Amino acid sequence: MFGVSYYLLYTQILDHAVNRSSRDTSLVGGHWLDVLAVLAVIQIGAAFSSRFYWLLLMLPAWGAWALYQAVMGKGGLVGGLMGGGGPNTTEGSTGATGGVDSAPPANRKQRRSEQRN
């Protein structure tokens, strides 16, 4: 049972490491490392007591919470539609197009001075 779980978690950790953005400062592996730690504690603890298997009930509860956050959270499906502010809402100066100005500060100052003149 644990062999398949470890394999699936390992592939998810690798997938997160490969597909994360360059600006992401979170730990490589994301929340999959938490699940890996819970499974390791259960496996080691089960060697001493069979009651450690009750910790497996944490996984569906964690999954339900992750699903709730994915759907209703700040950057989730419904949260983004309801004005929850997702990751795309950043503060910054707006340019002529109305979007966030991502130019370096020197170029921004030059453009502002040109717009004033």
Instruction: Determine, yes or no, domain membership for 99.
Output: no
Instruction: Determine, yes or no, domain membership for 26.
Output: yes
Residue range 3-29, pLDDT digits in tens: 777 888 888 888 888 888 888 777 887
Instruction: Determine, yes or no, domain membership for 97.
Output: no
pTM of the prediction?
0.48
- Cα of 2 vs its chain's centroid, Å: 25
What count of residues does the chain have? 117
Kindly provide the residue ranges of all beta strands, DSSP E only, lying in 22-71, ordered along the sequence: none
At 98 the three-state DSSP class reads coil
Instruction: Determine, yes or no, domain membership for 18.
Output: yes
Domain ranges, residue 65? 1-80
Instruction: Determine, yes or no, domain membership for 89.
Output: no
pLDDT score at 19 = 83
Residue range 97-111, pLDDT digits in tens: 555 556 566 777 777
Instruction: Determine, yes or no, domain membership for 115.
Output: no
pLDDT score at 101 = 54
Check whether 112 has a pLDDT greater than 80: no
Instruction: Determine, yes or no, domain membership for 40.
Output: yes
Q: How many domains does the chain have?
A: 1
Residue range 74-89, pLDDT digits in tens: 666 666 666 555 455 4
pLDDT score at 49 = 86
Instruction: Determine, yes or no, domain membership for 6.
Output: yes
- Burial tier of 35 (Cβ tally within 10 Å: 0-12, 13-18, 19+): buried
Residue range 42-84, pLDDT digits in tens: 888 888 888 888 877 887 887 788 778 777 776 666 666 665 5
